[in-house]
Amino acid sequence: MSQIALPFDWPPDPRDDEFLVSESNARAVQQLERWSTWPVMAVVLTGPRKSGRSLLARIFAAKSGGEIIDDAERQNETAIFHAWNRAQAEHRPLVIVADAAPPEWSVKLPDLRSRLTASPVARLGPPDETLMRALFERQFLRRGLDARPDLIEWLLLRVERSHIAILRTVDILDQAVLARHKRLSIPLARATLQEAGVIAGRAPELPIEAP
């Protein structure tokens, strides 16, 4: 697991450590790094909710001098159309953050739809195991929770592979520790997450190596 600045050959920014990079999102990061090779000066950045897509767009815009349109499906299509045209005229990169690219994103304005279709798409995927581990570690650290490595490995086998599931799991465990005044442990996590319906009633334990 590594945290990398964006683009890789630019001076590091202290905010970069907020965005963690693994194989699940590295390709999208590389696409943004190489914005000068885009066929047009706009990219559609997609990914699951809570995947850090807006943060990644902000880091990119700060370093490239580009512009962002976040939550694009809920923005005025005419405004996006003019921003796309302006990006071409000024040769200034535009990152359009959306849940999905057309045709999944149903764009009503024909001229905008044709421009978005011509734009490259950078996709953040669901977190892989490496990224999940790092996200759990970071979220527990931010809450001041002492999450031992064996607990995190236990969670990796049971929690849904999504950014939202990770945040929900940490929220639930944080509340349980505060309410019960107990140390964070696998037994506490098992009871709490089963009660909340985050994990199934029983799951296979981690294998124990023979001495």
In a domain, 158, yes or no: yes
Same domain for 18 and 107, yes or no, is yes
Q: Assess whether pLDDT exceeds 50 at residue 6.
A: no
Q: Which of 178, 157, 159 is nearest to 169 (CA)?
A: 159
Tell me the residue length of the chain: 211
Residue 8: CB atoms within 10 A of its CB come to: 11
What is the mean predicted confidence (pLDDT) over 41-53?
95
CB 185 within 8 A of CB 154: no
**How high is the pLDDT of residue 207?**
52
> Of 123, 153, 172, which residue sits at a domain end?
123
In a domain, 172, yes or no: yes
What percentage of the chain carries pLDDT values higher than 90? 80
CATH of the domain at 82: 3.40.50.300
Q: Assess whether pLDDT exceeds 50 at residue 113.
A: yes
Q: How many domains does the chain have?
A: 2
What is the mean predicted confidence (pLDDT) over 147-161?
96
In a domain, 5, yes or no: no
Same domain for 19 and 99, yes or no, is yes
What percentage of the chain carries pLDDT values higher than 70? 87
In a domain, 55, yes or no: yes
Same domain for 140 and 189, yes or no, is yes
